[in-house]
Structure 1
């Protein structure tokens, strides 16, 4: 997942002095890593040249010749003064030693780049002017047909607003601006323990050099599509802002696998990022993308394509799932509506049956009353002899004979 070899000392904030001014040519000499005991030129060793006093300290306020080459132990090979001489801090002076070193390293790299062959290089001596102001980049490369690439090495503090103004200035001037930040100072703050607990920072490649905070300046750059880069002139490496993220659609179980993670630039909401270090010699300028294309950025592009392809597959899968769920929901809705309609039909049939039964009973009751009324009216129209035939068919019975004692009772009273 990580491109190319990594220098073990990259972005360790090493203060070793690896640049010296050649007393003969007045140019800076760079001491490659591990070459302190080797030859500077055929037949001329670094130690011998230093012993002759031909390599001077590039610190603006110093200028004394280096007394020795330190090429032992675990530290990076570097120049050093004799004891008691050249006691100074590399960060003093109007321009820091590291800023001078970074510009020299960039100029040497640009001069050796095949893609920049034939380009004119300017080191702090070619301002770019517009009607509303001017800017002088640290290193400016100009092609024979007028294409300009400006390299800005930012060591001091800078706000996002100021960076945006400078970025817009270069864009208006038609200049490709590439920004590189220092590996120490205000542009380099190690990530906190709380930030390291974020899911994007837990996943880390063992070869990544460090994990740093993303300041407001870096957030502004990310907002405008510019990936922050850092330069370590001591090891001549470029650090690319990187994170290891998971897609939003990935299930928690799948996130445990390495294949589920993507190596991508940080998003604007991320408070910190990993630094993936690449040798400067393996980097190139991408004029179309207006950026310094590092091996890590090439990985980003591949991972972005893989991420987008996986996202497309996931979206299509999600669309199919949604379609299936929609079909199932429609089927459930159809069944529910059919059941509700069947229930309503059953209730309507029961109500109709009860209504019919009630109407039948009412009809029977009405018919019975009609028959009774018709029979009553018919009897009213008939003669009494027909209405009551027993009463008119024979003589009325004689009164009963009084008992034998009744006459005696009448005699006694009289």
Structure 2
């Protein structure tokens, strides 16, 4: 990157184009020869040449023996300076921050327990509102970030963190990390799938969405993921159109990065964040998700109520069937008992009749009790004695 000596605008040398024209009719080398492409390091002079050969990326360089600051700065510091300059120019031209006062590395925020000097500090003219932009290119732990975030919150300053689009804050996700239902779907506006470090997960834990800044393309990346609703009570799985683009959960190992132009972003003081178009979509999707979730809960409640009513109806029918079976069983038992009582009464009656008959027979004479079995003629009358001597003729 080089800074225009007249306008102060940054110029980025595209790779493999060091021998081409900067603008129609003017080459990069010709502009350098005029001394109008300055080094972005404060206090440094113009670049002296364009390195456009070999395997290295085409870039600006100082003449031999000049620009010794390169030993102590390196490409990361140049990127950092470029990012701060891009943020400053964006804030100066943004309508919502047009009247704000901008400070670049020159205004510390002091508290009783210490002080912090943000990379870019925007101060409102009529209120005490302050926005601190931190461009993080070097490694940072989640614990250190939390301490800085709490410091800014205690000072009443909105802190917006932007990470580098290369280096330790930008590590592409592995194949195993990509194999998640939340990450398998791709979108044209999602430029990459990036690992979520402990720092990023710490930010998500406290409701801060990680952002990345590419000063060359002046693009801002927003951490996002593709969420699918859980299956309904009936086991039905909803289709792809019911998925939501939401911030990743803090337990995710990786996330998608949705890219948006910096000029389309604005500072949301109410929520304390840089509102990118992707973040705006996330908010809308979150509201839709809440509405759909409420509708799903109501539908689930209706399903549970219907299931409960059906269970109660089955219970009632089962109880009625049991009562009917008990009634039929009782009726059958009563009928069987009545039949047994009837047979018992009949048996007692027969027994009593037999006893009465036996008693009656006992009172009868033996001749009546035991009548002769056969009828006999009466015995013949005895002949008188005076006839015994008469011969029978």
Give the TM-score taking structure 2 as reference length.
Answer: 0.80
How far did residue 264 of structure 1 move? Answer: 1.7
Structure 2 equivalent of residue 157 of structure 1: 139
Deviation string for 1:89-145 (max 9, x for gaps)?
Answer: 989538722122211211121121111122111111211122222222111111122
* Residue aligned with 1:115, SS: helix
Q: 2:97 aligns with which of 107, 116, 128?
A: 116
Q: 1:241 aligns with which of 210, 213, 223?
A: 223
Q: Distance in 2 between matches of 1:222 and 1:36?
A: 44
Structure 1 equivalent of residue 113 of structure 2: 132
Q: Distance in 2 between matches of 1:307 and 1:170?
A: 32
Question: Contact between 1:68 and 1:80, CA under 8 Å: does it hold in 2?
Answer: yes
Q: Distance in 1 between matches of 2:105 and 2:67?
A: 28
Q: Distance in 1 between matches of 2:9 and 2:59?
A: 11
| The 10-residue stretch of structure 1 (147-156 or 241-250) with the greater mean CA deviation from structure 2 | 241-250
1:287 equivalenced with 2:269 (yes/no): yes
* Residue aligned with 1:270, SS: coil
Q: 2:249 aligns with which of 267, 271, 276?
A: 267
How far did residue 220 of structure 1 move? Answer: 1.4
* Residue aligned with 1:278, SS: strand
* Residue aligned with 2:256, SS: strand
Structure 2 equivalent of residue 388 of structure 1: 369
Give the TM-score taking structure 1 as reference length.
Answer: 0.77
| The 10-residue stretch of structure 1 (117-126 or 47-56) with the greater mean CA deviation from structure 2 | 47-56
Structure 1 equivalent of residue 388 of structure 2: none
1:80 equivalenced with 2:60 (yes/no): yes
* Residue aligned with 2:314, SS: helix
Q: Distance in 1 between matches of 2:99 and 2:295?
A: 46
Q: Distance in 1 between matches of 2:71 and 2:222?
A: 24
Please report the RMSD computed on the Cα atoms of aligned residues, expressed in angstroms: 3.6
| The 10-residue stretch of structure 1 (355-364 or 167-176) with the greater mean CA deviation from structure 2 | 355-364
Structure 2 equivalent of residue 146 of structure 1: 128
Instruction: Specify every segment of 5 or more residues in structure 2 that has no aligned partner in the other structure, as ranges.
Output: 15-19, 380-393
Deviation string for 1:265-307 (max 9, x for gaps)?
Answer: 1122322111111111111000001100011111112222222
Question: Contact between 2:4 and 2:11, CA under 8 Å: does it hold in 1?
Answer: no
Structure 2 equivalent of residue 97 of structure 1: 78
Residue 225 and residue 318 in structure 1: after superposition, are their counterparts in 2 closer, same or farther (change >3 A)? same
Structure 2 equivalent of residue 19 of structure 1: 2
Deviation string for 1:211-252 (max 9, x for gaps)?
Answer: 101111111111111111011111111100111222224777
Q: 1:309 aligns with which of 291, 298, 312?
A: 291
| Aligned pairs (5 A) from 1:127-276 | 127-144=108-125, 145-249=127-231, 254-255=238-239, 257=240, 259-276=241-258
| The 10-residue stretch of structure 1 (110-119 or 82-91) with the greater mean CA deviation from structure 2 | 82-91
Which structure has more relative contact order (CA 8 Å, sep 6+)? It is 1
Question: Contact between 1:65 and 1:81, CA under 8 Å: does it hold in 2?
Answer: no
Q: What number of residue pairs does the alignment pair up? A: 365
Q: Distance in 1 between matches of 2:278 and 2:295?
A: 25
